[in-house]
Structure formats: C-alpha cells, structure tokens
Amino acid sequence: MVFCRAVVFGMFLLVACTSIKATAGDWPQFMRDARHSGDASEERLKLPMRLLSQVKLDDAILTSPAVVGDKVFIVDQMGAGYCIDHETNQIIWKSAPEGAAVLGGNTSSPCVGGGRVFYGTTAGNLHILDVNTGKRVKSVSFGQPILGSITLANDSIYLQTLDAMVYCLDLNGNHRWQWDHYKELRKRQAPRVKRQYSGVNVTVSGKRVVMAIGFDLVCVEDKTTEAKHIWTLREPVSKTYLPTGISISGDNVYCSFPGKDGLGKFLRVSLKDGSFDKNNDVLNDQWASTTTPASRGATAYYNRQAFGVTAHRFGPDGADLWTSFDTDPNHFTPSLSAPALSQKHCLFTTLSGELIAVNLAARGRGLDTLGDGVFHFNTPHGSVISSSPAIANQRVYFGCDDGYLYVLGSGKSIAPKNDLLNIHRRKSQTTPAGKRKYGWPSAFGGPRNANFVDDDAIAPPFKLRWAARSGGLFKQPVCATVKDVYYVSLAGLVVCREQSSGRIRWRQKLPKQSWCRSALLCAEGKVYVPRMFSLRYPKSQGQENIMYCLDGETGKILWKKPIGIGDRLRASPVFVDGVVAFGSLYAKGKPPTFRRPADAIGQAVDGWNAKTGQHLWRVKLNSSGKLLNGPAGCAGDGLLFFTGSGENRRGTGETMAIEPKTGKVRWRTKKAFASQTGTPSFQDSKVYLPGTYKLPLACLSAATGDLIWKSDEGRSHWYVDTLSLGPDYFTVNNKYQGGAKRRNLNDGRLAGTSNKRIQLWGPSHGCGSTVLTSGGMALSATLGGLYMTDTRTGKVVWNTPGFASYTCPHAIASNGRIFYCPQTSGIIFCFEPETQTDKKLDLNRFNKN
C-alpha cells in the first residue's frame, strides 16, 4: 500500500529552533498529553474566572486549542491555523495551507512540538508549520479526511485517516510505519471482514498505541519502524456499539461506546491485555457518549451529548460521584466537547454556549445540587461550542461557533465583544455534480414522499467528496436545498452545511431536548423542526413538545408552537400552499399539550400558517391500538394525505385527504392505512401506503379514497417508512425479511419470476428507504455500507466500506451528490460521481475492498 500520493514541500527544517519557550504548565496537544487524559492536576484555577481575552478569527472554531508558553495555537473550521499572543490578544501569524482545495468542518486539533505545529484536515492533508512564523514546512496528502487530532509522543506523530489506516511519522513528516487493521484481521482471524470507515484520535501511553477502529479496540507497540500487535477486542460490546473516544490513565483505558436506538455504554479495559470485568468495568445505559473522556486514576469524566458530564469511579465499589444533569430537561447540559481537569475542577463546554466548571469533590445529580463549586461562563452570543477546553498557566482556553477564541482566568476582565462575524454567510458556490440543480427538502425527497430523483448523472463509480463530524446521532435522514444540507440530531442539534465543502454555516441547539426521531422540512427559506416526546424512548419524557420554525439562512428561531407527543419515525412536516401540517398524539382540551404519555387519547393532524405560526385547524383520526403514534402525511394535487393506526392486528386506523387552507376533510377511509412507522406516498393522483407491521400494501384514489389495489402478501412482513416510486415500478424496504424487491406499480405484485425476484437492497440490514433514480439506479444504506443496484437486474454495481454503525437513516440525493449520516458513527458523508481525473489519481481505492 502506498503511504502517500503527494508531498508538497515548503520551507523545511530538520531541527527547528524556537523562541517560544515551553513550560510545565503547557497544554501542547488535544487533551494535554498523548494519553488524552485531559489531566492538568497541577493547574489551580481561581473561581470565579473572568473573561481575559476574546480574539476574533475568520470562521467557526471546532478544534481545541494548544497552549505553549504565552502562545495559543488554534485551527478554524476552514483549516486555517493561527498563533495568538494571549497577553496582547494579537494574532502573530495565520496560515491557510489548503488553498483553493479547502473543505469545511475541520476538527483536527493542533499539537505543538519540536518547533512545529501539526494538524490534519478534512481535505486529507497533514500540515506541518513553523511554530514561529506559520510558514509551511511540509504537507503530506493522504487522500482521505483526517477528522481526529494529531497525537505527539516518542518524537513521533500519530493519526488515523477516515479509511481506518493508522500512521506513525517522525517530526519531519517522514513515514515510520502504518497499521492496516483490516489487512491484519484478514491474515489472523477474519478473512472476510469488511473495512469500516473510522477516524478516531489515536492514543499513546509509553510505547503502547491504542486505536478505536470501526467496531474494534486495537493496541499495538511502537517499535520505531514498525508496529507490533499486542491485543484486539473485536466488537467488545457488540455490533450495535462502536468506540468513539479513548483516554488512558495508569494501566487502564477508558472508552465511550455509543449504541443504536438509545443504547450506549462506557468501558474500562486493561492497557496490558484488553481484558475487562463485565461487572465492574462496564457502565450500561449511557446514551450517548461520543467524545473522548478525561481520566484521573480510577475516575473517568465523560460526556453524553444530550445530557452532560458524569464523573464515575471504577472498581468493586464503583459509583457515579456526580453528574451535571438530572432527569429534568431544564437541567440538561448538552455537550459535544471532551472534559478537562484542573487540580480541583472538571471543565466542559456546552451546545448552549457555556463553559461550566464543577468541583471534583462535588456529589449529587444536577448542577443545582453540586454546591457552590459550580461556575458558569456564558458566551455573548450563546452560540454552540464543541471546542474542548484547554487549561494552562491558570487559564482556560476554548473556541466557539461564533468565531472567537475565549480566554478565562483571574485578573482584569474585559467587556465581551457582541459583534457578530456573520459565520452563517455562504463561502462556497454550489455547483451540481451533474446537469441539474435540485434539493431533497424533506425526509423522503419532497411533499410526494416518492424517494425518487430525476437525475441520470447519479451513477457509479463515486468518490468521497467530503466527510466531517456530524455532531450527533440519528434515526432521521438529512435534507437539502439546492445550496445547503440541513439536519437535526436525535438530541435536537440543528445544523446547516454548505453542500460543496461541508462547511458549517450555523448550528442551533434546541432547548430541553434529548430524543426525537422525526425529520425536518426545508421550505421557502425556512426550516421546520418538530420535537416531541417519544413513546419509544422514556428519557425524552418531560422535554418540550414544540414545532419550531427557523430561518434557513441564520438558524434564528422565528416561531415555535406547542404540539402533541409521539414522534413519527423519520417523518417530516408537509408544506402545501403556505401551510405546514404535522401529526401527533393529543389529549382532550386546549391548548393541545400534556406532560404524561398516559394522557394521549388519539391521533390528530394540525395545520399552521407557515410564515407566522398561527394555528389554523386540527383534524382528528379515528384510530386505536398498541403503540399509537403521530400520523404521517404527504401531499399532491393540492391536498394533504395523512394516515395512522396502532401497531397490532386488532388496531384500527384510517387515511384521509385534507384541504390545507381550511382543514376540511375531503374524504376518509378505513379500507387501508399505515401504522407506527409507515408514511404515505403520492404519484399520478394516487396515494400509496406501505404495509407496516403486517398490514397490506395498498393504493388509493387521491380524488375519492377508493381502493385501487391491495397486496395481501404484505401481511406476513414488516415494511417500514414509505414506498419508493419509479415510473412504473416501486419498492419498499422490508428491514428484517428480505430487503426491498421490485414491484409493479399498477397492482403491487412482485416483479420477476417466483424463483428470481429483483432485489434492489444491499446484502445486509438497514431500516431506511431506497432512493431511486431516473437512470435506473437504487441506493440503499445498510450495515455493510451504501449499496447501489441496477433496478432492471438487481445487480450490485457499487458499494462503500461500512460505516461502523447501524444505519437506520437512509441516504439522500441532491445536485447529483449523495449525502448520508449513519445512526451512531458521528460522521456525515458526501459522495459524488468520479471524473476522469479522479480515476487516474485513484482517490476511491478503498471502495474496491
């Protein structure tokens, strides 16, 4: 395997002299040391801290600062590196080595050593800069995004690329060794194992190098010019979990393991041999810890993105010492950053724009129970923070989405700067990969819910255009306008990214939210986001049940209105003629809100004025049954069509047509309906219903509601979501029994012969819908990766590596590109068709595995 395909030389020094003097109080890399302990035990902070410095950079800051002497080093989301004198608040140098090929969403934090500054980029480059001048010493191209931070140890640097390759280089950027986990597995124990996308930080203790790769934990010994395998934990929890952050303290490795469907674990394993005690070293029910923990001795401090930080002491007498949250959503401290430890405090940043410090000696659940040792600092704009704090010289440093670097400590304070930097303004032009511009404005492609794009250019082979950390976990898909990609995480983080580069334009954390599976809607420059209590996830009880309307350009909340509970899986609101409609569960009385799921008595659809949020009407459904949930809808011929029922054979339900302006019911029928996860589709004046949970597939007249056909063979299957409608055929994913076969649109019957059906799904499990194209392609998201099949033959014509994640959401297509967020990997992917130049450079080499 070739280590790198391009090396760009700038000013190159074998041994760099530096005027920046290192001190014992430095924080030279992510989480302070190569063990990523985040432990600055000698740093004594004096609380309350004051704002000492607020330095304006050119874009949002997603990385963690490095601090050496009196200098701070930071990288913004567009891959520009900065050196800042925190005493004078002056930028000493700025370097933007990516040039015109820059991509956004950079999360690789800088490390400083040997007179150099090292960091990676989403464009797949490792940059080595002179620490004094910022001039480029060397750039190494790996051809794959570097999402994790660079680790400095043993006079070497370590990194992992998205294709799950781990590299060790010397401080001059020369290759020492590389580790291909999947090649090694095939040699030793798993000859048919499939490569998974990865990209987690590499952690080092002495000569031991610990890596989270795909579903596995791996430890090797650095032998200078090669790596020696020590141990591997294959899927140590199960394939429903993946390791996402590692910290080492003493002889123990601490690791976060987010899981599917509200699951999550936190593990402590032996650095020596990878062993662990299932009774004392495994914490269950820890949804969703996705970042690197801090550690000191037998205590780990880890974040859960919806809730906040927990301090847990491991061992036979193991116990939670404190948590920053309790079960009340008013006390959530949502966070994506890694915690940091001073002598007496644990510090972390939040998605609500705060830095919080908690006394390590505190005991209790919820910040209000932890005594006087809790400190809050609110940034002036309340923007999202995912930058992990650094502690050095009795000061705390962190970046923010508002584009400022903040420095807190004791001393003379400054007034916070309130001027906005307009980070939300688009910086790249959106050029379609094919000949047409089009979006994917709602979960299933638009108001028809057809899961179909009229674009022949979406055809293999594809290349990875960009990938970046998504900031969340998902059961709902992303959506897109003709210029941007929008999505909302299960925990309620709404994100807007530029399609061409992956750059974040804005992020908005919706308050008091922990879990909702419904998708958003983009319409006429606004983003509509339903958030409600989920019957499938009790921890969401008590969260606000709200329909939000956000400005698509800035993320500002324009209006919000109360709704009921019962998040419809992957369903978006429906927009027709200036009206937004969505279904949920309601209790008696007005306003239509309640706090306990036992209060829910039935399904209803509500309509709002899309511009003002004025409530226009409510239509109730006559439905009943187990796991009753919000009804789902589509639109066509100027009407709204909604369906709902309970999830059992004895449940009742109905489908109806509603006039959007008035809420008048044109027709309703009990002849066919869909239950808990089923969403209707519209095409050519017909309404199509998926046979969800042993209900038959059906087709109704959009004008009258009369039954056109019903496919009784669906009764023995569990179809999910919605149909994907081609010109004269359709498919629907049967997630546990047989994938998505091609069917005739005129009668619902299976196409092909009884012994040779046409399979349009990939070879492994996935829950979402299939995307169909006018060029005869079908795209499915599976546990084994994305698969594209020929709709005429069912032959697989392209696939990606796996995502080391369950794949409940489906992929989408916009402007000739494919966008995808797996459920638990925390990464968003963008693929586009290869060009002739790409094929010569072989940038897609790992798609061949």
- Judged against a pLDDT cut of 60, whether residue 843 lies above it is answered with no
pLDDT of residue 3: 40
Q: Which residues contact 836 (CB under 8 A, 6 or more apart)?
A: none
648 pLDDT band, cuts 50/70/90, is low
Sign of CA dihedral 144, 152, 409, 338: positive
Residue 1 pLDDT class (50, 70, 90 cuts)? very low
pLDDT of 455 above 90: yes
Of 371 and 153, the one with more pLDDT: 153
Three-state DSSP state, 836: helix
What are the φ/ψ torsions at residue 711 (nearest 5 degrees)?
-105, 100
Q: Any residues with CB less than 8 A from the CB of 617 and at least 6 apart, and which? A: 606, 607, 662, 663
Is the N-terminal amide bond of 461 cis, ω within 30° of 0?
Answer: yes
Please tell me the predicted confidence (pLDDT) of residue 331. 86
The Cα–Cα gap between 759 and 842 comes to 30
What is the value of pTM for the model shown? 0.94
Closest to 237 in 3D by CA, of 822, 824, 782, 765: 824
For 662-710, the pLDDT digits (tens) are 999 999 999 999 987 889 999 999 999 997 777 889 999 999 999 999 9
Q: Please give the structure tokens belonging to residue 694.
A: 């042993």
| Fold agreement (6-409, 452-848) | yes
Residues 263, 238: Cα–Cα separation, whole Å:
11
Q: Which CATH superfamily is domain 452-848 in?
A: YVTN repeat-like/Quinoprotein amine dehydrogenase (2.130.10.10)
700 is written with which tokens? 């109704």
Q: What 3 state SS string does 59-98 have?
A: CCCCCCCEEECCEEEEECCCCCEEEEECCCCEEEEEECCC
Burial, 23: exposed, middle or buried (Cβ in 10 Å; 0-12, 13-18, 19+)?
A: exposed
CA dist., res. 560 & res. 291, Å (int): 31
Name the one residue in this structure whose structure tokens are 């001027």. Answer: 419
Mean pLDDT for the chain?
Answer: 91
> Residues 752-796: pLDDT tens digits?
887 789 999 999 888 899 999 999 999 999 989 999 999 999 999
User: Could you report the per-residue pLDDT of 555-577, keeping only the tens digit for each?
Assistant: 999 999 999 888 888 999 999 99
For residue 603, the cross-strand partners are 585
Strand-pair category, 579-586 with 574-576 = antiparallel
274: three-class secondary structure by DSSP? coil
Beta bridge partners of 302: 310
Contact criterion met (CB below 8 Å) for 669 and 700: yes
Alpha-carbon separation of residue 503 from 97, 282, 483, 556, 683 (angstroms)? 17, 37, 12, 18, 35
CB atoms within 10 A of CB 591: 10
Distance of alpha carbon 463 from alpha carbon 146, whole angstroms = 16
Say how far apart CA 456 and CA 458 lie, in whole Å: 6
Residue 149 has pLDDT above 80, yes or no: yes
- 297: tokens are 């001795």
What average pLDDT score do residues 138-147 get?
97
Question: Distance (Å, rounded) from C-alpha 668 to C-alpha 525?
Answer: 33
User: Which one, of 675, 667, 753, lies nearest residue 714 by Cα?
Assistant: 675
Confidence at residue 11, expressed as pLDDT on a 0 to 100 scale = 35
DSSP 278: T
β-strands 812-814, 817-820 pairing: antiparallel
The CATH class, in words, for 6-409 is: mainly beta
- Tens digits of residue pLDDT in 613-628: 999 999 999 988 777 8
Q: Tokens 């949970």: give the residue.
A: 693
Q: How many CB atoms lie within 10 A of CB 483?
A: 19
Minimal CA–CA distance to 357: which of 45, 97, 604? 45
Which pLDDT value is given to residue 594? 40
> Which residue, 234, 742, 813, is CA-closest to 485?
813
**Residues belonging to the chain:** 849
Closest CA to 772 of 736, 717, 809, 729: 729
d(CA 398, CA 61): 9
Domain ranges of the chain: 6-409, 452-848
Helix (H, G, I), strand (E, B) or coil at 187: helix
Give the Cα separation of 246 and 830 in Å (integer).
27
Q: Is the pLDDT of residue 270 over 70?
A: yes
User: Which DSSP symbol is given to 671?
Assistant: S
Give the separation between CA 839 and CA 571, rounded to whole angstroms. 38
Q: Which bin fits 703, alpha (ψ -120 to 50), beta or left (φ > 0)?
A: alpha
Alpha carbons 666 and 536: distance in angstroms, whole number: 33
Mean pLDDT of 589-597: 46
